[in-house]
Structure 1
Amino acid sequence: MKNKSLKNKLKLNELTLGSWLTIGHPAIAEILCNYPFDWLTIDIEHNLFDPSQIRSLISIIQSKEKAALVRVSKNEEVVIKHVLDAGADGVIVPMVNSKEDAQKAVEFVYYPPFGKRGVGLSRAQNYGDGFESYKEWLNDHVVIVAQIEHIDGIRNLKDIISTPGIDAIIVGPYDLSGSLGYPGEYHREEVIEALKYLEETCVENKFPMGYHVVPPDSDLFSKTKEKGYKFIALSTDFLFLGNSLKRFMESI
């Protein structure tokens, strides 16, 4: 059955660690699951996965007692419905820039009366034999993470985090800096001020905030944790692979 602890940890604002899956081979998911992550995210926004790969990866992650999240390609009804029907424990929704965006994401995840999701019978509902139990699980345990990756999301942050059904937010650092005209230039004053406002707002409201620490850098992780981030993504599968290879080649 699905991992039931991640939503509870978010409610308690406890630290959870995850990583980003961009390579569709099942061995990659199995390798990452050997390490103490709470969750793994299958990133279908920037990577090519076919539906059978997504379903397989979700199954593998959950078999290792980790939460399987999907960063969907956009805040759209069908794509969110597809990954949830495949059994995902939750979704990370990109470019949530307003309360209306947040409400749309919630509506696409939940069935009526709380949402507007259409009913399908697939893996999540045990192929029709577990619809009632899935409805209970959905109401108690599905996770919705709003990705704040545009300055408009910063400006509307209080409205977004007060939207019922949103469990956490996560910063998209590259796109956030890009929305200010400086992609990847985190040292810019405008970027620093935007992140400072996000951090102060979430800490003040005791709302779980996340950050994607893209470089596999332990010092950067420590600094992120010290700022109060609780939902932290650690790098990506290909960067773990590439950096390990780079260090080895340099050593010889």
Structure 2
Amino acid sequence: MKKNALTIGSWLQLNSPSAAEIMSQSGFEWLTVDMEHSVTSLETMQHLLQIIEGHNIVPLVRVGENNPDLIKRVMDAGAYGIIVPMINSADDAKKAVNAVKYPPQGTRGVGIARAQGYGRNFEEYASVINRESVVIVQIEHINAVNNLEEIISVDGVDGCFIGPYDLSGSLGIPGNLTHIDVLAAVSEVERICRERKMPLGIHVVDPDISLMNKYIQAGYTLLAFSSDMLLLEKICREKMAALAQVRNK
């Protein structure tokens, strides 16, 4: 991310260790455990992180809210970084960074858990976490677009993710992603991130390679390709449709 080089990851939504293991063996560079739109508990989240890290893949967590207590526990469980929804101001961004970083950079409380080797590696962990942890902010409201310069100026913000669906909702046109106002807002985020050399990402929900190529050509460097749930749903639906044609011959 510091080089703003292209990385491709995916989302884990199924709350399944087996799915996490399959995805970890599939060539992704990072995987995000989704705690915003899933039923994943803190306990299961830690188990999924163990699987991801065990396969030398970067484990991230999308938290359900910008909550310092939740973020602290996610980091203590072993996440390398977080993706935080609805960051609409510089103060929101500072709150997220503070929850990830130890003093003096942040305000994260000190505890002993898996991330610190259950106590054995605390000094080593504390010496690198402020420098190496990742904070990615989701830009998914028109207020965030209007405040983007200030948001990405916050020390400790490492990248932005555009949330186009919620962005369209904040403009009063939910789901209309091709509306001129949505396209203008997205273009503004792209412009600012390009000028500031801030890594920019988006979740390509539909597992469509042509869409991925579109965003790669547009300069996006944090690309999430679908999710465990959607990849499974798509392959099942496509194969059953093909089987139906064979069956009906």
Distance 2:41 2:188 in 1: 38
8 Å Cα contact 1:208/1:229 also seen in 2: yes
Equivalent in the alignment of 1:66: 57
Pick one of 208, 218, 222 that aligns with 2:199: 208
Mapped contact 2:102–2:130 kept (Cα < 8 A) = no
Q: Does the 8 Å contact 1:75/1:105 carry over to 2?
A: yes
Question: What residue identity is the alignment partner of 2:57?
Answer: K
Q: CA deviation at 1:137?
A: 2.3
Map of 1:220 onto structure 2: 211
Instruction: Tell me if 1:96 matches 2:82.
Output: no
Partner of 1:3: none
User: Residue 38 of structure 2 aligns with which residue?
Assistant: 47
Partners of 2:33 and 2:181 lie apart in 1 by 30
Counterpart amino acid of residue 141 in structure 1: E
| Deviation per residue, 1:20-51 (Å, 9 max, x gap) | 10111111001111212110000101111122
1:169-220 deviation digits (Å, cap 9, x = unpaired)? 1111211111111222111000000000011111111110001111111111
AA partner of residue 168 (structure 1): G
Helix, strand or coil at the partner of 1:42: strand
**Residue 139 of structure 1: how far off its partner (Å):** 2.1
Q: Does 1:81 align with 2:72?
A: yes
Number of positions where the alignment pairs a residue of Structure 1 with one of Structure 2 = 243
- State how far apart, in whole Å, the 2-side matches of 1:127 and 1:21 are: 25
Tell me, yes or no, if the aligned pair for 1:173 and 1:212 is still in contact at 8 Å: no
Q: Quick one: which amino acid aligns to residue 107 of structure 1?
A: N
Aligned residue type for 1:160? I
CA–CA separation in structure 1 for the residues paired with 2:111 and 2:90: 27
Q: Helix, strand or coil: the match of 2:145? A: helix
CA displacement 1:107-145 (0-9 Å, x = unmatched): 111111111111110001111121111112202211100
Report SS of the residue matched to 1:111: coil
Corresponding residue of 1:144: 135
3-state DSSP class of the match of 1:101?
helix
Map of 1:132 onto structure 2 = 123
Report if the CA contact (8 A) 1:216-1:240 is conserved: yes
| Gap regions ≥5 residues in structure 2 | 244-249
The answer to whether the 8 A contact 1:110-1:138 is kept is yes
Give the partner amino acid of 2:127: E
Q: Is the 8 A contact 2:87 2:137 kept in 1?
A: yes
Q: Which amino acid aligns with 1:190?
A: D
- Residues in 1 aligned to 2:141 and 2:51: alpha-carbon distance in whole angstroms: 33
Alpha-carbon deviation of 1:89? Answer: 0.6
Structure 1 gap ranges (5+): 1-9
Give the letter for the 1:110 counterpart.
K
The superposition leaves residues 72-99 of structure 1 with CA deviations (integer Å, 9 ceiling, x where unpaired) of 0101110000100001010001100000
For 2:142 and 2:176, locate their aligned partners in 1 and report how far apart those are by CA, in whole Å: 14
**2:228 pairs with 1:237:** yes
- Find out whether 1:251 has 2:242 as its counterpart: yes
Q: Find runs of 4+ consecutive structure 1 residues off by over 3 angstroms.
A: none
Q: What residue identity is the alignment partner of 1:153?
A: A
TM-score (norm 2): 0.96
- CA radius of gyration, larger in: 2
| Partner-residue secondary structure (3-state), 2:74 | helix
Q: Note the aligned Cα RMSD (angstroms).
A: 0.8
1:174 is aligned with what amino acid? Y
Q: Is the 8 A contact 1:186 1:192 kept in 2?
A: yes
Q: TM-score, normalized by length of structure 1?
A: 0.95
